[in-house]
Structure 1
Amino acid sequence: MASSAIRFKAELLSTFVSKQVAAAGLGVKAGKRPLLVSMQGPQGSGKSTLAAEMVKVLADEHGLKCAVASMDDFYLTYAGLKAVASANPNNSLLSGRGPPGTHDLPLLSSTLARLRDGPAPSQTNPLHIPTFDKSQNEGYGERSTVTEDITAPIDVFVLEGWSLGFAPVDADTLRERWADGRVASRHPIESLQTLDTNLAETERSTGDKFDCHIAIRPISYDFVYDWRLQAEHNMKAKNGGKGMTDDVVRAFVDRYMPVYEVFGEGLPERQALVLTFDKNREVVDPSVDEGA
């Protein structure tokens, strides 16, 4: 059973989502396509746990069937990731999976298009959601041959990711945030400019397919270090101590931090529920941004 804190947050999300379904006249009962929701939250924020609990609340309290997928499962193949790294030899941020530019946008776009335009998933014509095996190729990863299949019509589809919904910024803003960023400034500004271009391409390919957005925002992105350390310590406590050292975990988060520092305040141009978290992952400010 989920904790009361997780349940409270899941109910906030579910109320927002159910209102969006009703307002748009979408879902199975209306004979229409599902509501498509993008969901962003940093590593360690608990977004995957929260999304899973939201599925239960939507079913139990609103009678809505929801499916959840992760941007992580839409990474490029191993060969594709290596090609990105080779094409950007001076950009260490693109040396492996994670940042904008390392996802298979055509595959993601076609998946979202199927959900929007049909045909609806069924037992005889399921929608295949890819999965990504992060353990392959010495941790570099590879797309799995196993898929997660949606085999019946759904009311809501949620895609969650750590940078999903971040928006590109203008040149002056990028330069200012890059210079001020504790971690971003360690990288050439050209590296962040490339990620800005990649973010713009992600939004062009997928943004107009989503109906609304959910964002989990920490008061400070520095919380991500502690959250990721907590997750690693919990895992090591259960598996006999196997995992990354604290220094390796911090270096791992460092690779993502430039994106948070430069692009982390952006929201997509669609209605968004923003949950601001304190260091203990408690909600201090739920708010709705109406978008463009």
Structure 2
Amino acid sequence: MAATPDIPVLQTRIIDDKSPICIPFILSQVQAHKSRLQSPGHARPFVIGLNGVQGVGKTTLVRALANTLEQREGLSTLVVSIDDFYLTHADQLALAAAHPDNALIQYRGEPGTHDIPLLTTFLTSILSPSYSSSSSSSSSPSPTPIPIPSYNKSAYSGLGDRSPPSTWTSVASPPQILILEGWLVGFRPLPSQTLESKFLSPDAKTLHNHTLAHLEFVNSALSLYEPVWNTFDAFVHIDAQNLEWVYDWRIEQERQLRRERGDINAMTDEQVVKFVDGYYPAYELYEEGVREGVFKGDPNKKGCQLRMVVGRDRKVVESVVI
């Protein structure tokens, strides 16, 4: 384990030093995207995938990006979290019951615990040429609003459940920019040989807490996510010099909740370590691939990924376009 209850707590408030780096990159990508369009009147939203380890400042960044793109650049922007596409409580219980020995999928989080058909349906609707063209033409009928699923993480004593559709918000017209964010966004499945090699590595930290077969289950499930990743026009990756800092960052966040809000439901340090342990195997398996580039092998998307590396204080120490 990378964290202990008596870790020193550094700055818990996250200063946005990332959007000033991201905005020029995104605008250049949007401009290149527009220049490639054969029919501007049928332009679909420009889709950005955004990945960042837990506690690194992902939420702060996407809020800043949406505000700047809309208010300063005049580009309508919709941010969607992959967390809102988790399986329903009932479906998650069924998945866990079908694989009772696989600790990776007893709780939401890892690949395989999302409703990919629901996510695909949402993206297909919002990216459809007919939807985009109807909203861009005054002579076309108004497009049917597209509902945006939402997930209630506090339901069932923290086990979570999908919110009732009656509570979902809707998007009345397609945004110019769509950002899909999440801690596993862009993770791509590994070849079996590579997966086994990582599992057998003496440097593995949490992989040995599971069987190879259980890791293979998650790896296989991840292949269902790839068609979603393939819709991305650009990608933003918030990386860390040391992935184990995710433990410390999450502990700091929970301590801040207790200190500033008196949140009695905030996790203890020990609970945070156990919580992050459930996610960390995926970081060990797939973070290297994101670093190498989620568009690797696609010559048409060279230069379409921005990687920002942060230090222990979550401030950017390096950025590179891949």
TM over 0.5, shorter chain = yes
- Give the deviation of 1:175 after TM superposition: 1.8
The CA RMSD over aligned residues, in Å, is: 2.1
Q: For structure 1, which segment, 57-66 or 216-225, has the greater mean C-alpha deviation from structure 2 after superposition?
A: 57-66
> 1:23 matched to which residue of 2?
32
CA distance in 2, matches of 1:73, 1:13: 24
CA distance in 2, matches of 1:244, 1:42: 18
Q: Which amino acid aligns with 2:151?
A: F
Q: For structure 1, which segment, 174-183 or 63-72, has the greater mean C-alpha deviation from structure 2 after superposition?
A: 174-183
> 1:79 matched to which residue of 2?
90
Are the counterparts in 2 of residues 181 and 262 from structure 1 also a CA contact under 8 Å? no
> 2:127 matched to which residue of 1?
116
Are the counterparts in 2 of residues 64 and 155 from structure 1 also a CA contact under 8 Å? yes
> 1:143 matched to which residue of 2?
162
> 1:95 matched to which residue of 2?
106
Which of 39, 44, 61 in structure 2 is aligned with 1:50?
61
Are the counterparts in 1 of residues 145 and 170 from structure 2 also a CA contact under 8 Å? yes
- Give the deviation of 1:165 after TM superposition: 0.2
Indicate whether 1:14 and 2:45 are aligned.
no
Percent of residue pairs bearing the same amino acid type: 34
Q: Map 1:30-69; keep pairs closer than 5 Å.
A: 30-31=40-41, 32-69=43-80
CA distance in 1, matches of 2:181, 2:169: 15
Deviation by residue 1:115-142 (Cα, 9 ceiling, x = unmatched): 2214149776212110001111221111
CA distance in 1, matches of 2:184, 2:77: 21
Deviation by residue 1:16-49 (Cα, 9 ceiling, x = unmatched): 211111111189x943211011111111011011
Q: Looking at both structures, which has the greater relative contact order when contacts are Cα pairs under 8 Å and sequence separation is at least 6?
A: 2
Are the counterparts in 2 of residues 113 and 209 from structure 1 also a CA contact under 8 Å? no
CA distance in 2, matches of 1:249, 1:232: 8
Indicate whether 1:220 and 2:239 are aligned.
no
Alpha carbons of 1:175 and 1:22: their partners in 2 closer, same or farther (altered >3 Å)? Answer: same
> 1:177 matched to which residue of 2?
198
Indicate whether 1:282 and 2:315 are aligned.
yes
Aligned residues: 284
Are the counterparts in 2 of residues 166 and 265 from structure 1 also a CA contact under 8 Å? no
Give 5+ residue unaligned stretches, structure 2: 1-12, 136-141, 296-300
2:208 alignment partner, SS class: helix
> 1:189 matched to which residue of 2?
212
Q: Map 1:193-204; keep pairs closer than 5 Å.
A: 193-203=216-226
Are the counterparts in 1 of residues 14 and 314 from structure 2 also a CA contact under 8 Å? no
CA distance in 1, matches of 2:205, 2:66: 37
> 2:230 matched to which residue of 1?
208
Alpha carbons of 1:22 and 1:136: their partners in 2 closer, same or farther (altered >3 Å)? Answer: same
Alpha carbons of 1:173 and 1:4: their partners in 2 closer, same or farther (altered >3 Å)? Answer: closer
Are the counterparts in 2 of residues 219 and 277 from structure 1 also a CA contact under 8 Å? yes
Are the counterparts in 1 of residues 76 and 176 from structure 2 also a CA contact under 8 Å? yes
Deviation by residue 1:260-292 (Cα, 9 ceiling, x = unmatched): 011111132253111111111111111111xxx
TM-score scaled to structure 1, two decimals?
Answer: 0.91
Q: Which amino acid aligns with 1:184?
A: L
Deviation by residue 1:238-259 (Cα, 9 ceiling, x = unmatched): 2325121111111100110111
Give 5+ residue unaligned stretches, structure 1: none
- Give the deviation of 1:13 after TM superposition: 1.5
CA distance in 1, matches of 2:144, 2:271: 44
Indicate whether 1:154 and 2:187 are aligned.
no
Q: Which amino acid aligns with 1:39?
A: L
Are the counterparts in 2 of residues 68 and 158 from structure 1 also a CA contact under 8 Å? yes
CA distance in 2, matches of 1:231, 1:39: 21
| Structure having the higher Rg | 2
Indicate whether 1:166 and 2:187 are aligned.
yes
CA distance in 2, matches of 1:163, 1:148: 24
